[in-house]
Amino acid sequence: MNRIYFDNAATTSLDAAVLDSMMPYFTTHFGNPSSIYSYGRESRLAIENARKTVAKLLNAHPAEIFFTSGGTESSNTAITAAVRDLGCKHIITSAIEHHATLHTVEHLRHANEAALSYVKLLPDGHIDLEDLERLLAESKEKSLVTLMHANNEIGNILDIHAVGNTCKKFSAIFHSDTVQTVGHFPFDLRNTPVHFITGAGHKFHGPKGVGMLYVNENVKIKPFVHGGSQERNMRAGTENLYGIVGFAKALELATANYETESAYIKDLKLYMIEQLQKNIQQVAFNGDVLGNSLYTVLNVSFPKTEKSEMILFNLDINNICASGGSACTSGADTGSHVIRAVNNDPNQVAVRFSFSKYNTKAEIDTVVGKLKELI
């Protein structure tokens, strides 16, 4: 039986065209971008062309784009800089952020560098925007608001403009973890009230180990990683040359094919919802599944039985890849902090299925058939 991969929110396969774009930089164009001879200049040119491509696709200025090792480093950099360089002494976040955000803000609170508040959630898992406004209004210190654009486990999409405009009203800094939406969603950063956003190549058929941080041109921060003068003195360490080239190519392809691919993937998600409802009693969905939700992610709750408690293990035995929440914690048996926050029902077992352009309805039929057996 072929493997069925339904965990694309964790990582995606590398697009063949992206690999082709990277290959010369593994082999012939291998020069260190900081070197002044021709090999180095070729590499430097490739990085700067990638930066221009990414900036153009996000409608940002090339000077606002910094390449990093991924979403975790980008979020750590932005959050820490907001506290240490921009004077934010109060952080407002939510209980359902990715651990790259949650562990960073908790670290800053434990180090007594900033106070920490959690905004309330609505029953469908969306952020309570009225509560956010209240927290900002009551804050006596300058605030950092860090809220993800789309939740990696339940798919809920934040109204990034509404949050940005609220932050503006209270002169707060706004960082949004956009790792699930860069490459899956059109951005117009010139007209989006946000100070920092993040991206990771492996979420949209690019390579792992490369990401980006957008820093609005009106914001001046200090380096998070110290050393050489790479990334205009903002991020030390020899650049991941082939990764950066691959990141830009993957974003280019994702943007060019957004209309057709997003419609195709959304159709898969709706089809799976329909098939699960038809075939499995008491199935439920977490988050605003048919509302303001990311088309790639479907979080499903199954009734807890002796069989369903082992559901991920049994799916794996049957060559089906899915996750019980965030892939970053799938090895630990602590369950998902997101599901605990939005649906703390001990009689249900949650599984996240996430789709890509390479999945099919036939795969969904196979998976639903197998789930029916397992539950």
State the catalytic residues.
328
**Cα–Cα distance between 65 and 172 in angstroms, integer?**
21
* DSSP letter assigned to residue 65: E
Phi-psi region of 349 (alpha: psi -120 to 50; beta: other; left: phi over 0): beta
Instruction: Take residue 197 and report the two structure tokens written for it.
Output: 């956003």
| C-alpha distances out from residue 39 to 32, 52, 87, 241, Å | 7, 20, 42, 12
User: Residue 67 is which amino acid?
Assistant: F
Chain mean position to CA 111: 26
Give how far Cα 142 sits from Cα of 88, 89, 114, 173, 310, Å: 5, 6, 10, 8, 47
Q: How far apart are CA 114 and CA 110, in angstroms?
A: 8
8 Å CB contact between 286 and 339: yes
Distance, CA of 119 to CA of 321 (rounded, Å): 33
Handedness of CA 89, 92, 95, 100 (dihedral sign): negative
Q: How far apart are CA 143 and CA 264, in angstroms?
A: 40
Helix (H), strand (E) at residue 256: helix 241-256
Helix (H, G, I), strand (E, B) or coil at 68: strand
What values do phi and psi take at 321, rounded to 5?
-100, 120
User: Three-class SS string for 276-311?
Assistant: HHHHCCCCEECCCCCCCECCCEEEEEEECCCCHHHH
Side chain identity at 53, as an amino acid letter?
Answer: T
